[in-house]
Amino acid sequence: MASVACIGECMVELRQAQGGASAGQGGGLYSRGFGGDTLNTAVYLARLDIKVDYFTALGDDGLSDEMVAAWNAEGVGTRRVVRLAGKLPGLYMIQTDAKGERQFFHWRDSAAARQLMSLPETDEILNSLMSYDVVYLSAITLSIYDAPGRERLLAAIKRARLLGTRFVFDTNFRARGWPDRDVAREVFAAALATADIVLTSTEDLLALYPGESDDQLMARIPSPELVFRLAEPVSLLRFPGGTSEVRAEPMTKPVVDTTAAGDSFAAAYIAARLGGSDPVEAAQAGHRLAGVVICYPGAIIPGYAMPPKKRHRPAPSRQATK
C-alpha cells in the first residue's frame, strides 16, 4: 500500500456557532474541535485508503490525548507523534461570514509542534521519511519552525528523494505566520526548488508576488509537476510532456464553508497520483472532493458524505514514479 508522511500542526479549533452571537455582546457560542491544514489532508488521505502517518509534536495534556484518539479513529497513523511533557497544542478561532468565507485568529507561539525540528528524537523522525512514497507538507508547516529547523527538514527530504520518495509541497500561505514576506519568499524558493509536485494557487502566490500574471507566477516554480488553482474553480496543470486546464464540475448545492477546500483537493490529488492516475485525472478528483467538502460546515465532512471512490490503475514502483 502506498504511504504518505504528512508533516505539520494540529490545533484546538474554536468555531463560532451559527446565530450564536448575543445581541450587544459581540461574542456568542463557540464549538470546540481540532484542525490544521496538513492534518485535514491526512484525514482525507486515510479516507481514500492511503496509508498515512502524521508527523507532529503534542503536549501530555487531555486535549492532546483527544487529538491522538481522533486521528487513530480516522485511520491516521500516530507513531510519529512526539509527546512533550508540560506543553500544549496551539489554539485558533474561526469566524465565517454569510458567504462561507472564513477569518482565522491564532494563539500558537508556544505550541508543542513548533519544537519538532529541535528534539532529541528529531534525527530518527527525519530519517524515517525515506520509508514513505510521499512526503507532504505546506508553507504553514515551514512557518512554524525556525530557520535551522526548516533547513534540517528540507535536507532530510532531499536525502529521502534520492531513494525514490516524492516531495509534495502545498503553498498554503498565511502572512501572519511569517516575520515578513522577504523571509517567506526565501523559504518558498527553497521548497519549490526541492519539490516534485507543487500544489499552489493565485491566492497564495499573489500575496507574495503582487501584480504578476499567471504565467509569471507559474514560471517561478521549477517543479516538474505543478497544479495552479485559479480564483475560479479551474486548475492549470504543467507536467512532463504537457499542460492542461481542468475545470471543476458546476456546483449543485450551496457553498456553506470553504474551510479545507485546498486541503481536501491535495488529498484527492495525491491519492489519485499514487493510484496510477495521470495529473488531469488527479486534478479532477481533487476538484470533485473539494466541491463536496465546501457544502458542509467545518474542515472534516461526515464520512457518509465522501464521494464514491474511483478505482485506479495499479501504481508503478517508487523509482519509476520519480
Active-site residues, by number, are 263
Closest CA to 100 of 258, 277, 285, 316: 258
Q: How many DSSP H helices and E strands does the chain contain? A: 10, 13
Q: How long, in residues, is the chain?
A: 322
Can you tell me which residue has the cell 511569517?
Answer: 178
Three-class SS string for 105-173? EEECCCCHHHHHHHCCCHHHHHHHHHHCCEEEEEHHHHHCCCHHHHHHHHHHHHHHHCCCCEEEEECCC
Amino acid at 158: K
